[in-house]
Structure 1
Amino acid sequence: MVSQSRTISSGSHRSAHASRHAGAPSNGPAQRRRSGARHGSHRAGGSRGTRRPNNRKKRSILKRVLIAIGILFAAGIVTGIGAFAYLYITTEIPQADKIALSQKTTVYYADGTTEIGSFAEQNREIISCTDLPDYVGKAIVASEDRTFYTNKGIDLKGIARALVNNITTGSRQGGSTITQQYAERYYLGETTSYLGKAHEAILALKLAQAQDKNEILCNYMNTIYLGRGAYGIQAAAQAYFNKDAKDLTLQQAAMIAGIIPSPSSWDPAVNSAMATQRMKRVLNIMQEDGYITAAEHKKAATLPDTIEYSPSNVFSGYNGYLLTTVENELINSGTFTKDDIETGGYKIVTTLDKDMQSEIQTVGDTRPDGMPSSIQVGGIAVDPRDGTVKAMYAGSDYLTNQYNNATQANFQPGSTMKPFALLGAAQEGVNFNTLFNGNSHQHFAGVENDVSNALELNWGYINLYQATANSVNTVFMDVNEHLTPQRTAKIAHEAGIESDIDETSPYNVLGINASTVWDLAQGHSTIAANGVKNTLHVVSNVTDYKGTEVYKVTAANERVFDANDCALVQKAMQGTTVNGTATGVAATLGRAVAGKSGTANDETAASFVGYVPQLLNVWAIWNPDENGSPQVVPEFSGYGVSSTGYPAHLFTEFMSQALANSEVIAFPTATDDGKIGGPDGTWGLGSGYASGSGTSGNSGNSNNSGSSGNSGSNGNQSDQQTESDKQNQEDTSGDGQSSGGSGSGSGSGSGSNGSGNGSGSGNGSGSGSGSGGSDSDNGSGSGNGSDSGGSSDTGGGASGGTSGNVN
């Protein structure tokens, strides 16, 4: 290295001397400075001779790096092309993404046209584009992809532009062709990754080859989000203009198409200036591309008016209760899943009557002054002939309280369970004129404490008609003892009651087990339909988006009870609304009405079930505390806890409206072929004791002595007599033959609705009378003794009849 350095240095000096000898001007100090610099460099070891090899080395390294980069770049291109080719070969057009096909399911009232609400993951209604005006599709093409009809599914310039944007800004921007957007929304779901975009582009190429342009455009129009919660052109037409897409005008179509890139921000209600600008852009392109004429452009140049948009929850108010009841019924049918309902685009027609629903809601929502806010109300109206639910009061606002007071809330139904035991007595062949001890403070087998009636009233010896009308506990405890609690529970379940009933408790006839409004309606509707059971339902039929019926409910018409047995129960229940615990209801409605009241044993709830042949209505009130535990229902606005009050009032209010101008249908005629005292003569007072009157009993007290007593009885006729009423009158006219007996007795009974007196002696004789109206009916019996009775009634007058020893 030293020798080499010297040689280079010597050469440097020779060069300097040669320059001077060539006549180059000498700069003196400057020249010396340059020379000194060179020598200084030499001393520092930085001569030109040492730099040249290093530069060549650097250039050699750079060259190799560039070659390597080039090779890698080329390899990347080859790999990319290979990967693209592989993806293209292996990519198949998949099944459409489920969410892209999801449609709004709409629920309607029974008329099939009035909408209740809808279920939707996305608010979409898929339509056939053949019904759309041509300019609707052309407006979207003008807005989103002018080359749509000529490109092969992708736009290379658009992809390059998006790639540059992604690199320079760090954002993610995809291709812009309609086919690419269609591929993303319809098949893949949203994606912003490079691999996802590559997949999207490949799929777009394949779609362009496999599908017709019109098919692609139609599917795109049914898929794209267009603002206001609307997916697809049909939902958008409804959201902006409250019309179907097939009825859109050119300017309306251009407005919707124009705001596609940012529908929420460019909604005319939010930014009318931008909406106008975008609409005009679409119209300009449509004219330039020959889709519309200049005249059409000019005519459509004004931004169209849109309807007011206020996002609302379809479950608000009482709609939420109706919708969830519909959904639950369909899911429980096993035909639909929740996902099916929310994405299937079905049309569900319910059994609900729009007017009745409005009426029941008004009645249930109206709260008298002083009614505690804690008191809950539930109600339902059904047609017992086919099980269709016509109206339901489940609460005032679903968004405030999702608990359905008609289908979910439990309360003690009280005496509304008694008709099931009464039906059992009819099945056993017990004549309803059999006398029972209706006094309070009686002891029954399996019961620790004595049983009493409401207000501890003593009703004396009364028949089953009277006991039903006045809801006499001790009589029905006696009936249940003969029938057995298991049998009473079985009958209730056969009628359709699904709630648990204690089959071992003698008290089950008094309604000690919790039930629901829906359950009571189901059970009583079977009796009201003369023993034919039809499962209650709110759905009538379901059709898919193509209009094909996929589900339909038909009446089962399952015979579970004898028709005449049920007619006897109906007859007894009619006394309730004439002069029983719901006195005056029949007179108010101007027709015969069967009814039964109920009060929870601890006065925490009250209920009423009533019906005419074509409509049954149930109401209940209960009073839970803040933890849901039952509390006593306090007196309010003149209504006590007694079931004679508020539930019957709700029934009358609703039925007055629901039955207005409706046909008066007579109850079926009942024939009581049962035996006094039952088939074995052990029911009630036994086979030797019968009432000579028919349908309902006193509301007062009676005192009795001896082997036979007497009771005042009430007729079951109203001013408007039906065939059923005439039958009731016939039943009040002395039903037995008196015969001798070994004992004698006398008694008297009186009440607010009538009075009756009678006596019996050795051979047995008796008479009775009652007054209360202009209509009269007399009958007589003969035997070893005699029996006579009379009845008269005008809208609830009293009738009297004797009781004596009867063979």
Structure 2
Amino acid sequence: MIPRLRRTAGRARRFRVDYPRRGRGGLRRYVPSWRQLLCLALLGCGALAVLVGYVYSTVRITDVNATARTEANVYYWADGTQMVSVGDINRQNVPLSDIPPALQNAVIATENATFYTDPGFSLRGLARAVVNMAKGEEVQGGSTITQQYVKNTYLTQEQTLDRKLRELCLSVKLSRNLSKQQILQGYFNTSWFGRNAYGVQAAAVAYYGVDAKELDAPRSALLAALLKGGDLYDPSLSEAHHRRAEVRWRYVLDRQVELGFMSEEERARYTVFPEPRPRSASLSTSLSGQTGYLVDVANKYIQRRTGLTAEELGRGGYRIRTTFDRALVEQLERTVEDVTARTLDPEGRAADRDVQVGAASVRPEDGAVLALYGGPDATKHFANNADTSGVPVGSAFRPFVLAAALRDGRDADLETVRDVAVDAGLLPQSMAELDASFTSGTSTPSAVRMADAYATFATGGRHTDLYAVTAVTHQGRPLKGLGRPGGRQVLNREVAGEVVEAMRSEAVDALAPETLRALGPVAAGRTGAADPQPAAWFVGSTRQLSTAVTVFRNKPGKDGLLSMRGVGGGSGTERGGGDVLPLRVWSSYMTTIQ
């Protein structure tokens, strides 16, 4: 019996995991041996194989037309009543035979060069997903066309390892059940190209007004470029978007030459960027008036705070509670329309043509966006004048100059002024170059940002970041990342108080006595008739509401702003009625809502 016990004890000792390692001193005891590392690697691979096998056996290929039943997105006013339901997917399936080879080659060259030979998945992409998960980062990686088709059709867009594994397993199953041509056809019909276009047929119409089968190589290259992000590469959105689109377009063409899809001689013929047509008014009529601008602001806020993409939001199923006050939005729209109708005569005065207005109201207490005026109609005037930078703020920028001087002394440089403006709520990218003209208001913040920044002075130097959405649910589950922003003290109360006193003097000079009596204490800033900037502003805040109004001239298709001289009947070098337009809108609106 004793020898048997000894043999059992000996085997137990032999199978004991030698960690920390005996016979080693200090930190060396905790360095695994190569055998231990090999065992860990084998165990990890085995566990992964078991996991993949389980997922593969449980996933099912369901109805390939699931996207056709996508739910609408429903947006709600601040009081919980429904604002709008936006939903129908803009998609029309076409056979692969209607998709020109030039477009097929462009997409395969840039999205998945090995499409016709790979098994439907990318091991490198899966490895990258595993590494990202281990790092605590987003689970994303280079996916094949088959994987992208699976994600578009069968899965959600969430970035998790579970979704990535299901994507891989479904891709393998799909590759065994469908031909490469069927998969490619499905991919073209479910991919998102921006402009609310799902599928290549909708994209061809949205960008060029033609059917997909009429696309040539240059236009096909742009649509292929858009697959990297329709909200990033649509050339009509901004100059920066246009530059990105051109660079990507050239890459798509060059990549086809590199892979043998296109000859160098053919590539040499494509030198002119195929400008798409402007974004059309093909938006749902439910987005007419101010609704489209409000939805745009809400969507941008959700994307910024949650990481959702425009494509993911466009697939629907979200319930979105906004901060927008219906009564204020409607009153602001009525006021702008009434004041411009009384002041402008576009038929009789050329200077009154192409005048545009942008306005926004923010609650100083917490940074909630309560109202916007983005233009006459979101389905006809695409740019959101309330939330678009590009209009110089002029002398309405002076409160930030004054605050910098009070905080850091009279010798505060240009850089200090910029920091104060950004701390108060203006975006760094809207700041002008730090040259001699900077303090004269060459920066181009949006109206909603100016309203927010002036609110900082009204709250004693305490700034709260803007927010436009209070809650979002998807299929009954709340989205994270939408908690209300916290406030922070960016100016001491004494400095903020002195700036407010100076701004109150400006308000007294600008506003009629009856307006001041109706509103109580008002802090305001504005541009004047002698202001060098080609725009007119009036921004004013009370303790309850901060509102910014801007007026400018910008003809569609023209680069830059037009002169404001003579707008509203002014003569000579004066801007006349154009200069008082924002003041009239602001005072009429603010007194009406009291």
TM-score by length of 1: 0.39
Residue of structure 1 equivalent to 2:383 = 403
Residue of structure 2 equivalent to 1:416 = 396
Q: Which of 439, 453, 462 is matched with 1:509 structurally?
A: 439
Residue of structure 1 equivalent to 2:455 = 525
Residue of structure 1 equivalent to 2:42 = none
Q: What SS class does the counterpart of residue 333 from structure 1 fall into?
A: helix
Q: Does structure 1 conserve the Cα–Cα contact (< 8 Å) formed by 2:540 and 2:547?
A: yes
Q: Which of 105, 119, 144 is matched with 2:73 structurally?
A: 105
Q: Is the aligned partner of 1:630 residue 2:565?
A: no
How big is the shift at 1:645?
1.6
Q: Which of 393, 400, 405 is matched with 1:425 structurally?
A: 405
Q: Does structure 1 conserve the Cα–Cα contact (< 8 Å) formed by 2:392 and 2:533?
A: no
Residue of structure 2 equivalent to 1:605 = 535
Structure 2 distance, partners of 1:92, 1:343, is: 22
Residue of structure 2 equivalent to 1:93 = 60
For these two proteins, the number of residue pairs brought into alignment is 339
Residue type at the aligned position of 2:300: N
How big is the shift at 1:342?
2.4
How big is the shift at 1:353?
0.1
Residue of structure 1 equivalent to 2:575 = 641
Residue of structure 1 equivalent to 2:522 = 593
Q: Which of 288, 293, 316 is matched with 1:316 structurally?
A: 288
Q: Does structure 2 conserve the Cα–Cα contact (< 8 Å) formed by 1:539 and 1:553?
A: no
How big is the shift at 1:625?
3.8
How big is the shift at 1:537?
2.0
Structure 1 distance, partners of 2:443, 2:514, is: 27
Q: Which of 307, 317, 325 is matched with 1:353 structurally?
A: 325
Residue of structure 2 equivalent to 1:493 = 422
Q: What SS class does the counterpart of residue 483 from structure 1 fall into?
A: coil
How big is the shift at 1:345?
1.2
More helix by share: 2
Residues 250-295 of structure 1 deviation map (CA, whole Å, 9 limit, x = unaligned): xxxxxxxxxxxxxxxxxxxxxxxxxxxxxxxxxxxxxxxxxxxxxx
Structure 2 distance, partners of 1:583, 1:507, is: 32
Q: What SS class does the counterpart of residue 427 from structure 1 fall into?
A: helix
Residue type at the aligned position of 1:331: Q
Give ranges in structure 1 of 5+ residues lacking alignment: 1-89, 124-185, 189-195, 201-310, 430-478, 661-807
Highest CA radius of gyration, 1 or 2?
1
Residues 497-547 of structure 1 deviation map (CA, whole Å, 9 limit, x = unaligned): 114434642332220233321232232222222222211121111122326
More strand by share: 1
Structure 1 distance, partners of 2:389, 2:432, is: 19
How big is the shift at 1:586?
4.4
> Structure 1 633/549 Cα, relative in aligned 2: closer, same or farther at 3 Å?
same
> Structure 1 546/417 Cα, relative in aligned 2: closer, same or farther at 3 Å?
same
How big is the shift at 1:631?
2.1
My pick for the range that moved more, 391-400 or 349-358, is 391-400
Q: Does structure 1 conserve the Cα–Cα contact (< 8 Å) formed by 2:467 and 2:485?
A: no
Structure 2 distance, partners of 1:512, 1:315, is: 33
Q: Which of 68, 82, 85 is matched with 1:114 structurally?
A: 82
Q: Does structure 2 conserve the Cα–Cα contact (< 8 Å) formed by 1:350 and 1:539?
A: yes
Q: What SS class does the counterpart of residue 404 from structure 2 fall into?
A: helix
Structure 2 distance, partners of 1:518, 1:497, is: 9
Structure 2 distance, partners of 1:607, 1:91, is: 61
How big is the shift at 1:611?
0.7
Structure 2 distance, partners of 1:596, 1:585, is: 19
> Structure 1 586/426 Cα, relative in aligned 2: closer, same or farther at 3 Å?
farther
Q: What SS class does the counterpart of residue 526 from structure 2 fall into?
A: strand
> Structure 1 344/572 Cα, relative in aligned 2: closer, same or farther at 3 Å?
same
Structure 2 distance, partners of 1:504, 1:633, is: 25
Structure 1 distance, partners of 2:85, 2:78, is: 13
Q: Which of 544, 548, 554 is matched with 2:484 structurally?
A: 554
> Structure 1 547/410 Cα, relative in aligned 2: closer, same or farther at 3 Å?
same
CA-based RMSD of the aligned residues comes to 3.3
Q: Does structure 2 conserve the Cα–Cα contact (< 8 Å) formed by 1:603 and 1:633?
A: no
> Structure 1 187/641 Cα, relative in aligned 2: closer, same or farther at 3 Å?
closer
Structure 1 distance, partners of 2:59, 2:434, is: 67
Q: Does structure 2 conserve the Cα–Cα contact (< 8 Å) formed by 1:609 and 1:619?
A: yes
TM-score by length of 2: 0.52
Residue type at the aligned position of 1:489: R
Q: Which of 336, 351, 366 is matched with 1:386 structurally?
A: 366
How big is the shift at 1:570?
1.0
Q: Does structure 1 conserve the Cα–Cα contact (< 8 Å) formed by 2:369 and 2:466?
A: yes
Q: Does structure 1 conserve the Cα–Cα contact (< 8 Å) formed by 2:361 and 2:448?
A: no
> Structure 1 312/605 Cα, relative in aligned 2: closer, same or farther at 3 Å?
closer
Structure 2 distance, partners of 1:591, 1:486, is: 35
Q: Does structure 2 conserve the Cα–Cα contact (< 8 Å) formed by 1:403 and 1:409?
A: no
Q: Does structure 2 conserve the Cα–Cα contact (< 8 Å) formed by 1:102 and 1:122?
A: no
| Over 6 Å off, 4+ runs | none
How big is the shift at 1:114?
2.6
Q: Is the aligned partner of 1:340 residue 2:312?
A: yes
